[in-house]
A = this chain, B = another copy of it.
Amino acid sequence: MNKLADINKEFAKWYQDVLELSEFVDQSPVRGCFVLRPYSYSLWENIQKVLDEKIKETGTKNAYFPIFIPESFLKKEKKHVEGFSPELAVVTHAGGKKLEEPLVVRPTSETIIYSMFAKWIKSWRDLPLKINQWANVVRWEMRTRPFLRTIEFLWQEGHTAHSSKEEAIKFAEKILNLYKNFVQDYLAIPVIAGLKSESEMFAGADKTYTIEGLMHDGKALQMCTSHVLAHSFSKSFDIKYQDKNGKLESPYCTSWGATTRLIGAIIMSHGDQRGLVMPPKIAPIQVIIIPIFKDENDKTKVLDQSKKIKKILELKNIRVDIDEDDQSTPGSKFFKWELKGVPIRIEIGPKDIEKKQIVLVNRIEEDKNLKKSFVKIDKVDFEVENLLEKIQKSLFFNAKKRLENNLYKVQFIEDFGARLEKNNGFYQTGWCGSSECEKKLKDYKGTIRCLLQSKENDSCFFCKKSSKTDVLVAKAY
C-alpha cells in the first residue's frame, strides 16, 4: 500500500502525497495550473453551494464579466497596476492577428466591473449595488502549490458600491463575518480576524480585512479577504451618481473574495497520517458503505442490505456511497476511504445482518475502543446524523485547541524572533505602526498577519516605542 510522508516531519511532502494518492488533483501540462479531479471539484461545489446562498442573503446578485481586460484599464488605478503587473498573463494575438491593444487575462475584476458600474450607477436610487461573480482568474506566480498558490484558480469576487463610507465599511465587515462563520461552522477551521497592515493590503484598497487560520505545521494561511476600496476605483473609473439633492457624488466601493485556497485550508487543518479528513458538513461523501462477504450467497444478502441502508440515509439527505468494487479486499477499501477522508465508514457483513446491526467507524477517532460502534439497523439514520455532528464539532474543537496552544503572547523580537524563525505558531505582540519595524520581521521569515482588537502590549516589538496596536505575527503560506 502507498504510504504518505510523515505529516509532522515532512509536511510539504505529505501534502503532495495526499493530493496525488487520494486522486484529488493532478499536475496539468501547463506549469502551475492544476486539474481539479472529481473528488476535489465536488468539495468545491459543496463550498460554492453554501457560500452562494449566504452571499445572496446579503442582497448580492450574481453576474458574469469578461475574462479579458484591456491593458489600459488596469493602468487606470495606479496602486492596482503596480500590485498586479508582475503577475499578468497577456493575450497579444488573436484570430491570427496582433491585437491593437493587448488584453490581460483577469487577475481580479475590479477594473472591468467598475467600468460597468460607471454605466449602471446614475442616481442614489441605484445604490447600494451589490454584484458577485464566480469565475476563474490568472496570476502568473513563480512558485506554485495546489490550492495555495496556483496560476489559475477559481473564486468568487464580490463588488459593491455604496453612498457612504460608513455603509461600505459596514458591508465589508459583514462579509468578513460571513466568511468567518462559514469557515468556522462548515470547514471547522477556527480563525483570527482583523485588518491588514498597509503593506499587506490589496492593491488599491483603503482597508483590507482578513481571516487567518493556523495550519497543521504551525504556519498561517490567509483564508478570505474583504476590502474597503473607498474612492480609488470609483474615481479612476469615473463612477458618479446624483444624490438626493441633485449633487454629483462618487460611491464608496468594496470587494471581497473566497477561493479554492479554502480547499488547501481544509487539507492542512484536518489532514492526518492516514490522509485527508473532510469536515462532514462539506464532505463530498459523508458515509461510505463497505459490504463484507465471502461467498456469492452472502454477497447478495450483504449488497441488498447495503442498498437499503443507502436509501435510508439518502432520505435524510446524507451523501452516501457503496464501494461495490469486487476486485479489492475490504482492508484496501478501508485504507482508500480513510485516505480520502470520508467521515464515517459503515461495515456490513452477514453476521451483522443476522444481529440486525451494522458497524459505524469514526474516521477521526484514534482510540481503537471508541473508533468502532455497533448500531441497530433501525437506528442507523439517527446514529449517523449524530456521529456526523460529533465529528464536525470535534474537528473544530481540535483545531481550536491547536490554535490556542500555539498562540504565544510575546513582547520583544529578541524574545520570539528565533522561535518564529524555527518553530511556527502565532505570536501576539505590540507594534508602533511603522513599516520599518514591520520589515524587520522578514529577517525571521515572519509577517504581520493582521492587527488585533485586544491590546495587551504597551511597546513595539522592535523599536520598543509606544505600541499603537497589538498584531498577530506568523510565518505564512
Residues of A within 8 A of B (CB): 26, 28-30, 33-38, 41-42, 44-45, 61-70, 73, 85-96, 102-103, 105, 112, 115-116, 119-120, 125, 131, 135-136, 138, 140, 142, 151-152, 154, 327
Contact of A66 among B28, B86, B90, B119 (CB under 8 A): B28
In contact, A142 and B95 (Cβ under 8 angstroms): yes
| A87/B92 contact (C-beta < 8 A), A30-B103, A41-B63 known | no
In contact, A112 and B38 (Cβ under 8 angstroms): no
Main SS class of interface, A: mixed
In contact, A86 and B92 (Cβ under 8 angstroms): no
In contact, B92 and A152 (Cβ under 8 angstroms): no
How far is A70 from B29 in the complex, measured between Cα atoms in Å? 8
How far is A119 from B103 in the complex, measured between Cα atoms in Å? 33
How far is A125 from B324 in the complex, measured between Cα atoms in Å? 13
How far is A89 from B92 in the complex, measured between Cα atoms in Å? 8
In contact, A29 and B112 (Cβ under 8 angstroms): yes
- Closest B residue, CB atoms, query A70: B29
Task: For the A-B complex with A36-B63, A89-B95, A90-B94 known, give 15 more contacts whose Cβ atoms are closer than 8 Å.
Answer: A28-B112, A29-B112, A30-B66, A33-B68, A35-B63, A37-B63, A38-B61, A41-B62, A41-B64, A68-B89, A86-B96, A89-B91, A90-B91, A92-B92, A93-B102
In contact, A85 and B91 (Cβ under 8 angstroms): no
In contact, A28 and B89 (Cβ under 8 angstroms): no
Smallest distance from the beta carbon of A261 to chain B beta carbons, Å? 14
| A93/B95 contact (C-beta < 8 A), A116-B26, A136-B136, A152-B66 known | no
A-B contact list, 20 entries, CB within 8 Å: A26-B116, A28-B65, A28-B112, A28-B116, A29-B73, A30-B69, A30-B112, A33-B67, A37-B63, A38-B62, A41-B62, A68-B151, A68-B152, A88-B94, A89-B93, A89-B94, A90-B92, A90-B93, A90-B94, A93-B102
